Amino acid sequence: MVHYYRIAGLIVKMDSFGRSLQQAEPYLIGFEPDHVDITIEPDCKRVLEIFPNLNDDDCMYMATGSDFYKQLLDYNGVRLHSSCVVVDGSAYFFTANSGTGKSTHTNLWLQIFGDRAFILNDDKPALRLEDGVWYAYGTPWSGKHDISVNTRVPVGGIACLERGEVNEIEPFGGYDAVLAILRQSNKPKDAQCRMQLLELLDKLISQVPVWKLRCNMEPEAAIVSYEAMSGKKWRD
């Protein structure tokens, strides 16, 4: 059954089932709109060529997400495989390969900041450039724990996370920063989409502070990253 959603500030038409349908429920608009920005046409066959052991439910979840993020490029938007935490009205992204500790780190922020903080999306939040400002959005593609909030928040910074014995953070830019973020972003096959993505990421790292964070899993790690990325003391 076809439903209409508002995702990343856009009207989205999507026909799905199972997990995809369930996780998209908070994004339903409940009426047929007078226009549609994105029509999702999931290509499950292509997904199964890459991941042949997926069940139908997970295949639909991946295919709908892939098609949404591909079309999001046309609206100055990009996916970032990350955990995104919001504190005091600013969104902070922590991106890394699966298993590095993104969610563990953002959960430390929740421990430290309490009611001041919430997780915007714990797997594949969206970023969009709108009127010269970068915003973070929750999306239905929110990982196995389905942690996501349907709202828009200005981006405060992005950290490329690595495990370390000592908590330390430093500015990160240039080619290495683009490459690190590219690894965790969309992976379009056609040349035009790849160029769109690279141009958008170039704007992103020139307008949003990017950091390299090496950290352990102690609460101090959240304090170190927050104070650098926000420019504020954590108890202010």
Query: How many C-beta neighbours within 10 Å does residue 77 have?
Result: 25
Say what the pLDDT of residue 236 is. 61
* DSSP-derived 3-state class of residue 218: coil
Say if CB 38 and CB 10 are below 8 A apart. Answer: yes
Domain 79-230's class?
alpha beta
Domain boundaries, the chain: 2-75, 79-230
pTM for the model stands at 0.94
Say what the pLDDT of residue 46 is. 82
Say what the pLDDT of residue 45 is. 83
Q: Is 212 left (phi over 0), alpha (psi -120 to 50) or beta?
A: beta
Say what the pLDDT of residue 175 is. 86
d(CA 174, CA 167): 23
Stretches in the chain below the pLDDT threshold 70 = 236
- DSSP secondary structure letter of residue 148: B
